[in-house]
Amino acid sequence: MKSKRLWYHILALAVVAVWGVTFVCTKTLIGAGMDPAAIFVIRFVMAYLGIWVLDICGPGKVRILSDGWKDELVFLFLGVTGGSMYFLTENTALAYTQAANVAFLVCVAPVFTAIFTLIGRKVLKGRFAEGLEDVRLGFPLVAGTILAVAGMAIVIFDGSKLEISVKGDLLSIGAALCWALYSLFMGQMTKDYGAVFATRKVFFYGLLTIIPFLGNSVDSFSPAVLGQPVVYLNLLFLGLVASLACFIIWNLVMSKLGNVTSTNYVYLNPLFTLVTAALILGERMTPMSILGCAAILAGVILAGRRKPRPS
């Protein structure tokens, strides 16, 4: 049993390593002339088609609908929070600020996840309440949250950066909130329906709800843009590896390790992003940004030290 849990921890680490690189891939695509919404659509279309292939080739009959309209609404919510709105806010943030900044600010998602879990266990009922990890409100969570928020304030209001970067930093926090909300329900839905079906639903509703935001994305689909090697190679990586493979694995990990424990691995996201951004984009962080990011990491790590309530 312990060896199985260790395997899921290793999978979580591998997924976070890939996702840490995606910030740089997305910023590269934006620099090549792609719109943030178009990047999401192309990567999720590839992932959605890929997951249908997996579903058709898998054992058993292909399922189309969930058990009822209430679960369909939950999948719609997951498609928005873990799909369209998460990636729209994150991708748009990358157009206004550095990839490293976005990665560090999004990594506050575990703090939000822990807070939402505490609330969810009291507000939610039935299987969704039971599917959340049993965490306690104590000094580590409170102090870690305060420290992380202070770090975010330092990064956002760093006077050495252009004022427009504030928009990118706030969008990054919005993405973190979306991911925390996604983490509340996805683990239980994966347990109920399986990783492939649940992930396919998220892809579908994510694509459906991004449509209203595609008005300025026409040029992104032109052969002149998509024909660039730097564009189609990054899109293939984002669609087939970071979306198709990683979403299935991550949803499975959440169902096995719990929504809070698995989300704690997001702490490591910035480390992979920093290395990749330095090597590929040549990004440098200001001293105040480094201080703010250090406070964020210290805060989320401290918050993650809380222990489950004894049964």
Q: Treating both helix axes as pointing N-terminal to C-terminal, what angle do 195-210 and 165-193 enclose, rounded to 10 degrees?
A: 140
- pLDDT of res. 163: 44
pLDDT of residue 59: 78
pLDDT in tens, 12-33: 889 988 998 888 888 889 989 8
- Count other C-beta atoms under 10 Å from residue 308's C-beta: 12
Q: What's the pTM value of the predicted model, to 2 decimals?
A: 0.81
Q: pLDDT-based confidence at 3, cuts 50/70/90?
A: low
Chain segment 239-293, per-residue pLDDT in tens: 999 999 999 999 999 988 888 878 877 777 776 776 777 677 676 667 777 787 7
- Of the candidates 119, 158, 147, the one whose C-alpha atom is nearest the C-alpha of residue 135 is 119
What does the pLDDT look like over 249-264, one tens digit per residue?
999 999 888 888 788 7
Residue among 168, 197, 180 nearest 264 (CA): 180
Q: What angle do CA 60, 198, 210 make, to 5 degrees?
A: 130
